[in-house]
Structure 1
Amino acid sequence: MKFLEKLAQFICRYMTLWVILISVIAFFQPAPFKPIGKYISYMLGVIMLGMGLTMSLEDFRLILTRPKDVFYGVFFRYLIMPFVGFGVAKLLGLSPALAAGMVLLGACPSGTGSNVMTYIAKGDTALSVTVSSVNTILAPVLTTYIFSFLAGAMIPIDVVALLIDIVKIVLIPVGVGVALHTAAPRLVEKLIKVVPAVSVIFIITIMSSVVALNASKMATMALILCLAVAIHNIAGLVLGYYAGRAVGMSVKKSKAVTFEIGMENSGLAVALALAHLDPMAALPGAVMTVWEYMTGSLLASYWGNKAEKETPAGEALALK
């Protein structure tokens, strides 16, 4: 078990490197990776099961003790990013498929990486975990109808099929994970040490398939795609922080909201795009997987180091 734990840590530590490496291979040699596409929804279900295993009923306690903070986190998540995605698509004049992919990315719930980044940044980790959990539970309804409202004119959307798929891919696996955590906490505590590595392996596999399926088109749109994703992500991080501060949240709480908004469940966006839209619509989610971890880790490290250097008095003042 110790060997598996060390291997899991090694895989997770260099996630960005693995994603880039395998994506480059898939770009130049797409044929072996293309058949993976039809299994992406199952792989994402495993990823969401892993997320559910890290959650417990205790994660939802803040809904009762700090309802205003949780509401702001969820409200800003589903208000800011879908409209940012829509705005970026219009600003850059993206094709209907890419535009729909940007909106879908913004309409998805926050990613699990937001919790880790909030912890590194010395933010309110408890708030981050609760907001992520609530965002995910609400995704079948909010993601479906926000995406349909904003992207319905861009590309044909089967709203019912999309809703059912999000329930199958997100809600059921997460619910099973929470139930297992509640029923067998000791077993789950052992599994948790290797579950993140399994998620990383599946994320890398998903990204390789998306790149392979779009390899012929990516060379001609790489610049505009990367620009769109960069604007989307940076706007989310900036607006997330200042939205929190604007409603009176402390710096620690605002850090949590920043990552809940700026870091997205890009894997879900990829799976839904491949299942319901043009394969090209999966590209924003694929690129975001790499980009958000780079910007998120840089910002989290900066905030974390800054908090450590502050004097007790200065820190106390900053957190008010």
Structure 2
Amino acid sequence: MEQDVVGTYLVPAVLAVMMVGMGMTLQAADFRRLLAYPKAVVTGLCAQVLLLPALGWLIVTALQLPPEFAVGVMIISFCPGGVGSNLLALIARADTALSVTLTGISNLLLILSLPWWVNLSLRTFLPGEQAILLPVGKTILSTALITVVPILIGMWVRHLAGAVAQRAENGFRIFSGLFLGVLMLSIAIKNRDVIIEALWSLGPAIVALNLGSMLMGLVLASLLQLRMSQRTTIAIETGFQNAALAILVTTTFLQNPRMALAPVFYGGVMFVGAFALIGLLRATRMAPSKRHADVKL
């Protein structure tokens, strides 16, 4: 019953409120950047939407994770655009405009791609009778109602009352962090009988996925000769996932709390990884100076 309440009511409600907060940081110009400055945006989207799932598959295959844990890791790799990445980009003195654009576009793209990716993972790691596939149409509709509609509401609020929306941003950030922590703690308590086993199995995979994704984003952006502010943003965005959405998929759609442990662990590790990256870049004087932040893409 506890898990039913968490998965059926708490997770969707918390995620919807978080998406309203995300929408308040967005405006139509953020999506037009894809056409105006395609190189940086497309590079970031490729790293988030295509390369990150491939990295996740390599990791779970190499480490031979138990099936449910493997699916959980794959699901977190399918959920880019975590709430809070824009703040991290600001702290890193990176390109926050690019960060906002990548967060907004990636969250819209995953609505259509998510059920297909999840079902592919279920067929791969839980073949036969073990696999409970997501109904594609229903999943797209449910995900859109919980994510896209609240994002549009947030954008509408910002359009009508920009000053109010900007003042409310910090409140939504605090709410998002607190309630994401509550969700993660409740799932960890629900799985307390297997938490040690999960840590041993999932720990190396989660750390490898987080560090590997940030390195992959940084290297890809460097190879394409993007500015350092853009490289930092893409590295952060690639490593910072929407853990709340992954928890929604595992607890609400699939009703599998063991799968939810992967996004729970990743939700903690990604903050540590992001701040470690920021500290490393500053220590090596690779981070862009403040005067270069928020310049055009």
The TM-score bracket by the shorter chain reads: 0.7 to 0.9
* TM-aligned CA distance change 1:66 to 1:163, over 3 Å: same
Deviation at 1:253, TM superposition (A): 1.4
Q: Does 1:195 align with 2:199?
A: no
Instruction: State the partner residue of 1:228.
Output: 205
Deviation at 1:33, TM superposition (A): 8.2
Q: Does 1:36 align with 2:6?
A: yes
Amino acid at match of 2:76: L
Among candidates 26, 35, 50, match of residue 64 of structure 1:
35
Cα distance between partner residues in 2 of 1:310 and 1:220: 41
Deviation at 1:308, TM superposition (A): 8.6
- Residues 48 and 170 in structure 1, CA contact (< 8 A), matched pair in contact too: yes
- Residues 103 and 151 in structure 1, CA contact (< 8 A), matched pair in contact too: no
Q: What are the ranges of 5 or more consecutive residues in structure 2 without an aligned counterpart?
A: 126-130, 293-297
Could you tell me the TM-score, scaled by structure 2's length? 0.87
Instruction: State the partner residue of 2:57.
Output: 86
* TM-aligned CA distance change 1:160 to 1:34, over 3 Å: closer
Among candidates 248, 260, 267, match of residue 282 of structure 1:
260
Cα distance between partner residues in 1 of 2:38 and 2:63: 38
Cα distance between partner residues in 2 of 1:310 and 1:262: 19
Structure 1 stretch displaced more, 232-241 or 58-67: 58-67
Instruction: State the partner residue of 1:299.
Output: 277
Amino acid at match of 1:280: R
Among candidates 222, 239, 243, match of residue 266 of structure 1:
243
Deviation at 1:166, TM superposition (A): 1.6
Cα distance between partner residues in 2 of 1:89 and 1:160: 28
Q: What per-residue deviation string (whole Å, max 9, x for no partner) do you get for residues 41-80 of structure 1?
A: 1111111111111222232232232022211111221111
Q: Does 1:143 align with 2:114?
A: yes
Among candidates 131, 139, 142, match of residue 102 of structure 2:
131
Q: Does 1:109 align with 2:83?
A: no
**How much is the aligned-residue C-alpha RMSD, in angstroms?**
2.4
Q: Does 1:75 align with 2:46?
A: yes
Instruction: State the partner residue of 1:185.
Output: 162
Amino acid at match of 1:36: V
3-state SS of 2:80 partner: coil
3-state SS of 1:281 partner: coil
Among candidates 205, 211, 221, match of residue 244 of structure 1:
221
- Residues 273 and 281 in structure 1, CA contact (< 8 A), matched pair in contact too: yes
Deviation at 1:272, TM superposition (A): 0.9
Cα distance between partner residues in 1 of 2:218 and 2:40: 13
Could you tell me the TM-score, scaled by structure 1's length? 0.81
Amino acid at match of 2:202: L
Amino acid at match of 1:286: V
- Residues 16 and 147 in structure 2, CA contact (< 8 A), matched pair in contact too: yes
Amino acid at match of 1:157: L
Deviation at 1:208, TM superposition (A): 1.8
Q: What are the ranges of 5 or more consecutive residues in structure 1 without an aligned counterpart?
A: 1-30, 316-320
> Deviating runs (4+, > 6 A) in structure 1?
31-34, 308-312
Amino acid at match of 2:278: A
Q: Does 1:217 align with 2:194?
A: yes
Amino acid at match of 2:269: W
Q: Does 1:205 align with 2:182?
A: yes
3-state SS of 1:215 partner: coil
Amino acid at match of 1:65: A
- Residues 270 and 282 in structure 1, CA contact (< 8 A), matched pair in contact too: yes
Cα distance between partner residues in 2 of 1:191 and 1:122: 22
Q: What per-residue deviation string (whole Å, max 9, x for no partner) do you get for residues 213-252 of structure 1?
A: 2111112221221111001101101111101112232222
Cα distance between partner residues in 2 of 1:176 and 1:310: 34
Cα distance between partner residues in 2 of 1:212 and 1:99: 21
